[in-house]
Amino acid sequence: MQLNVGILGATGYAGAELTRILLGHPQTAEIHLSSVSFEGESIEAVYPNFLGNTEKIIGGLKKAEDVIESADVVFASLPHGVGEDFAKTCVEKSKAFIDLSADFRFGADEPTFAAWYGKGYRHPELRRRSAYGLPELNREAARRLAASGAVIIGNPGCYPTAATLGAMPALARDLAGNGAIIVDAASGVTGGGRASARAYHYPECADNVSPYKVGCHRHTPEISRNFAAISGEIRPVIFTPHLAPVNRGILATIYIPLADAYAPSPALPPKETAPRPPSKEISANAEEIHAIYTEFYKGEPFVRILPFGAAASTNQVRQSNYCDISIHLDQSGSTLIIASAIDNMVKGAAGQAVQNMNIIFGFEENAGLTAIPALF
């Protein structure tokens, strides 16, 4: 099967990355692009990197309505709150709608969405046709919806993707004890989009590391809901994003208090002046947890549990749809420390969106997503 695909908001970074991936996808026929800012121009005028690769792209940058008209599946990379009308049109016309904004990430939980995004839903009823699009968590829901008619996918946020994949086996396999889970994460600058701003001005963010939106980032409730969906329990989540001087990538370091069964006894270190290096018992516990993670993600095409002893790093997933995960314990053995790395533009946005398309259309899940990361 060959699809005609449409991309709304093709000239933002996520839109351009969607364009790049879909141009190389074996099941795309025509590609239609919309842009408000650059309507009427060609995509290669806005992104010269596409020069010579635009055969599949039909016409220049068009109106959203025209793109929807021509497409079997529509990707929307628009500001939050802007795409609901387009989603409605797609549902009415039985076209799949894969939304990279937050509009469909919260399903029926409009109060949480409204509390963090400042307004309610425009068409609440659309959530009956929507699924949260983290395949490793929710693949079957998307498939089921697709089987029964038009489907809307709420493609996850970048940080929630890294955080949820990193914590999922611990939560699903009851490794986590009580207490807050802390997600401390760093993102590359493409996460801020293509619009110019002081914070993303080269001399201000090169050679610099800094946290932002501490205690109030909108991805916090999405992470929290995912954790609850996995473990069936609501537990406190603390999330701190940082900006790091890399183009692409998210590295999430996740601190999960271990359940008693996995922590050494006593769970607290002995009352010495200072902690000791990790004991052999603790190291053995870590290996056991590593085995649980490996087993949990067996068969997943895009999650790689790194060999025990290695640490996840963003350059090992750059330009790929992988999520790399490494497993560690603190020296006392009472806290599980997970490092989870993704390319924020691929698994954290465009790649995952294409993975969702593959799932709902029954393609190979990695179709168009076989790029091997390059390290350097």
| Least distance from a copy of itself to the Cβ atom of residue 166, Å | 12
CB of 23 to a copy of itself, least distance (A): 6
CA gap 71, 32 in Å, rounded: 7
Query: Whole-number minimum distance, CB 33 to a copy of itself, in Å?
Result: 15
Name the minimum Å distance from CB 135 to a copy of itself.
16
**Residues contacting residue 304 through CB under 8 Å, at least 6 positions apart:** 322, 323, 324, 325
Entry field: residues in the chain: 376
Torsion of CA 65, 71, 77, 83, to 10 degrees: 40
Indicate the residue among 66 and 204 with the shorter CB distance to a copy of itself.
204
SS3 290: helix
Looking at beta carbons only, is 17 or 72 nearer to a copy of itself? Answer: 17
Q: Is 298 in the site for a copy of itself (CB under 8 A)?
A: no
CB 306 within 8 A of CB 312: yes
Q: Which long-range contacts (CB under 8 A, 24 or more apart) does 215-218 make?
A: 215/240, 217/159, 217/241, 218/102, 218/116, 218/117, 218/157
Enumerate residues 266-295 that contact a copy of itself by CB under 8 A.
268-269, 271-278
Site for a copy of itself contains 25 (CB under 8 A): no
Pairing of strands 237-243, 181-187: parallel
Q: What character string, x for contact with a copy of itself (CB under 8 A) and - otherwise, covers 188-227?
A: xxx---x-xxx-xxxxxxxxxxxxx-xxx---xxx-xx--
Give residue 294's identity as a one-letter amino acid code.
T
For the beta carbon of residue 107, count every other beta carbon within 10 angstroms. 17
Pairing assessment for the beta strands 57-62 and 152-154 based on DSSP bridges? unpaired
Contact between 335 and a copy of itself by CB under 8 A: the answer reads yes
Taking CB under 8 A as the rule, does residue 55 contact a copy of itself? no
Identity of the residue, 115 or 284, whose beta carbon is nearer to a copy of itself in the bound complex:
115
| Closest separation in Å from C-beta 252 to a copy of itself | 10
238's CB contacts (< 8 A; 6+ apart) are 180, 181, 182, 183, 215
**Encoding tokens for residue 117?**
């995004």
Q: Which residues pair with 305 in a beta bridge?
A: 325
User: Would you say 87 or 338 has its CB closer to a copy of itself?
Assistant: 338
For residues 250 and 11, give the distance between their C-alpha atoms in angstroms, rounded to a whole number.
Answer: 22
Characterize 210-244 residue by residue with b for buried, 16 or more Cβ atoms within 10 angstroms of its Cβ, and e for exposed. eeeeeeebbbbbbbbbbbebbbeeebebebbbebb
Residue 330, amino acid: D
Q: Active-site residue 205, yes or no? A: no
Residues 103-122 within binding reach of a copy of itself (CB under 8 A): 109, 111-112, 115-116
Is residue 322 part of the contact set for a copy of itself (CB under 8 A)? yes
Q: Tell me how far, at minimum, the Cβ of 89 lies from a copy of itself, in Å.
A: 29
24 binding a copy of itself? (CB under 8 A): yes
Is 253 a binder of a copy of itself (CB under 8 A)?
Answer: yes
Kindly tell me which of 190 and 231 has the beta carbon lying closer to a copy of itself.
190
Residues 163 to 192: which contact a copy of itself by CB under 8 A?
179-180, 182, 184, 186, 188-190
Assess 325 for contact with a copy of itself (CB under 8 A): no
Interacting residues with a copy of itself between 31 and 50 (CB under 8 A):
47-50
Catalytic residue among 158, 205, 216, 323: 158
Interface stretch with a copy of itself, choices 1-9, 72-80, 168-176, 326-334 (CB under 8 A): 326-334
Catalytic annotation, residues: 158
